Amino acid sequence: MKNIFLILFVGLFISVNGQTETPAPKQTKKIILLNGIAHLGNGKVIKNSAISIIDGKFDIIADAAVIKIDFKQFDTVIDVRGKHIYPGIIAPNSTLGLTEIDAVRATRDYSEVGQFKPHVRSVIAYNTESKVTTTIRSNGILMGQITPRSGVISGTSSIVQFDAWNWEDAVVKEDDGLHLNWTSMYNRWGGEKNKNYEKSVAQLNGFFADALAYSKLEEHKEKNLRFEAMRGVFNGVKTLYIHANYIKELTEAINFSKKYNVKKTVIVGGYDSWMITDMLKENNIAVILKRVHSLPQRQEDDVYLPYKLPHMLFDAEVLFCLENAGDMEAMGTRNLPFYAGTAAAYGLDKEEALSLITLNTAKILGIDDFCGSIETGKDATLFISTGDALDMKTNDVIAAFIQGRMLNLNNFQKQLYDKYSGKYEH
């Protein structure tokens, strides 16, 4: 019965390869994916699933063996038997699209001049044409929180999806949050106490106090762009992302956010966050955990500590997700699923690990009402892999959809692969 409408999966995608990565048009046809192993992102798996996508949203999410489906109402029926379906992975705290070639200054747009620059907005610098982003999509990462760097307040981030003509099209949530780099208490290399720490914290307090006072009036004769950009932190429109790792900095940062009555605070980095899980929960603070594939920060730390942190935070019931900031962060974003894989190798269930790069991320970024998992009514942002996507050995993304639009997964690197494979065939 099903065979009648079956479109051979392989054939569908071969035709796409070789084309340029033009953004896909709005979904008009009704699609149903059948028989795939659906990892919903919320911890659940449907081993033999039926997932329909209508008008860019998930509709039916069901067990194909149980549900009765009227195939006539679908334009496209795709059999993905034995293949794995995942919600699109989300890369928080990312510089994708803000940098193209790290060493070439002209291509770097993530670091503005100054210490306090909440008004600086990443989204307008987000380059939808980045060749890097297309390679990231090919591994199932379909959305990102584009985040500026440097200074005490580096600026305002926005959340985008990775298939767009320009940044206006790409925006999923504009100006979602403000990024505060908590001043280090210790100098980076020498390791001695940072003499400017207190001064820096005092300046920060001064800035927040002024911004809070300013926010009490709706209209000012003379506008202060910095303070205007801070309003959202106090009225709950923007999340305050505080980047910190050392336990004392973390506790100071949390106390700071309480002092100014910040509605929503998230810790980014959080290497020591496992030591203060109660404090995090009491204050309803989530963590965007630093790169799992990194070295321990202290000589005597468990050699696998960065691998084990997800399990430790999970057991403590802290809301957290995974990120990729650090060296070569933009191009390395494509390894995000493997960080979840490592989290699974070191104690987490694979579905729990998947949540760390999908639903949890959406929750922390405040977009889980419309994305982050495969659930009816949410954006149909998903990808299909022939094998376990969290393992590099088997991650093989053959199709991806953003808001129901099927992406062209070709990229610059695949093109070079084809070109030079061709060279040797003659």
Partner 1 sequence: MKNVFLLITMFFCGFINAQETFDVNGTHNKNHNYYAFTNATVFVDYQTKIENATLLIKDGKVEAVGTKINIPKNVVRYNLDGKFIYPSFIDLYSDYGMPEVKKSKTPHYGPQFENKNKQAINWNQAIKPEVEAGKLFTVNDKKADELRKLGFGTVLTHHHDGLMRGTSTFVTLGNEKANLVMLQDNVASHLSFNKGTSTQDYPGSLMGMIALLRQTYYDVDWLFNNTKIDEYNISLNTIVDNWKLPQIFEANDKLNIMRADKIGDEFETQYIFKGKGDEYQRISEIKATEGKLIVPLNFPKAYDVEDPYDALKVNYSIVKHWELAPFNLGIIAENEIDFAITASDLKDKKVFLKNLAKAIKSGLSEESALKALTYNPANFINQYDKVGSLEKGKLANFIIASDNLFAKKTKIYENWIQGKQYVVEDYNVIDAVGNYSLNIAGKTYDLKVKGEPKKLSGNINIINGKDTNKVKVDVKVERQLVSLSFNPSDDYQKGTIRLSGTISSNGGIWDGNGQLPSGEWVKWSAIKGKDDEKKEDKTDEKTDSLIIPKIQYPNMAYGYFDSIPKAETIIIQGSTVWTNEAEGVLQNTDVLLQNGKITAIGKNLSAEGARIIDGKGKHLSAGIIDEHSHIAISRGVNECTQAVTAEVSIADVVNSDDINIYRQLAGGVTASQLLHGSCNPIGGQSALIKLRWGAAPEQMKINDSTSFIKFALGENVKQSNWGEFNTQRFPQTRMGVEQVYYDAFIRAQEYQKKWNAFAALPEKMRASSLAPRIDLEMETLNEILNKQRFISCHSYQQGEINMLMHVGDSMGFTVNTFTHILEGYKVADKMKEHGAGGSTFSDWWAYKYEVNDAIPYNGAIMHKQGVLTAFNSDDAEMGRRLNQEAAKAVKYGGVSEEEALKFVTLNPAKLLHLDHRMGSIKVGKDADVVLWSDNPLSIYAICEKTIIDGVVYFDLDKDADQQKANSKEKARIIEKMIVAKKGGAKTQPAKSKKQKLYHCDTVGE
Residues that bind partner 1 (CB under 8 A): 100-104, 131-132, 186, 188-193, 246-248, 272, 293-296, 298-300, 302-304, 328, 330-331, 334-335, 338, 341-342, 344-346, 390-396, 413-414, 416-417, 420-421, 423-424
Q: Which is nearer to partner 1, 103 or 113 (CB)?
A: 103
Gap between the Cα atoms of 229 and 157, Å rounded: 12
**Least spacing, CB of residue 110 vs partner 1, in Å:** 14
Min. distance of Cβ 414 from partner 1 in angstroms?
8
Q: What are phi and psi of 275, to 5 degrees?
A: -85, -15
DSSP-assigned letter for residue 116: B
CA distance 153 to 207: 10
Give the DSSP per-residue string, 97-155. Answer: TTBSSTT-GGGB-SB-SSSB-TT-BGGGG--TT-HHHHHHHTTTEEEEEE--BSSSEEE
Q: With CA atoms as reference, report the closest residue to 5 among 77, 61, 66, 67.
A: 77
Distance, CA of 262 to CA of 283 (rounded, Å)? 11
Query: Most distant CA pair in the chain: distance in Å?
Result: 74
Q: How far apart are CA 64 and CA 68, in angstroms?
A: 8
Shortest distance in whole angstroms from residue 105 CB to partner 1: 9
Report the C-alpha gap between 52 and 228 in whole angstroms: 43
The pair of three-digit structure tokens given for residue 388, joined into one six-digit string: 């376990």
* Residue 254 CB, nearest approach to partner 1 (Å): 14
Taking a C-beta distance cutoff of 8 angstroms, is the pair 27, 33 a contact? no
The nearer residue to partner 1, 216 or 419, going by C-beta atoms, is 419
Between CA 377 and CA 142 the distance in angstroms is: 18
**Which token pair is 351?**
């579905």
Could you tell me the smallest distance in angstroms from the CB atom of residue 17 to partner 1?
Answer: 14
Q: What is the smallest separation between the CB atom of 326 and partner 1, expressed in angstroms?
A: 9
Under 8 Å between Cβ of 263 and 236: yes
CA distance 194 to 70: 67
Q: Shortest gap between Cβ of 416 and partner 1 (angstroms)? A: 5
Nearer to partner 1, 241 or 346 (CB): 346
Pairing type for strands 141-146 and 89-94 reads parallel
Shortest reach from residue 297's CB to partner 1, in Å: 9
Q: Which two tokens stand for residue 24?
A: 């896909």
**Which of 51, 49, 53, 60 shows the shortest CA–CA distance to 75?**
53
Q: Please answer whether residues 323 and 94 qualify as being in contact, where contact means their C-beta atoms are separated by less than 8 angstroms.
A: yes
CB of residue 295 to partner 1, shortest distance in Å: 5
User: Bridge partners of 399?
Assistant: 384
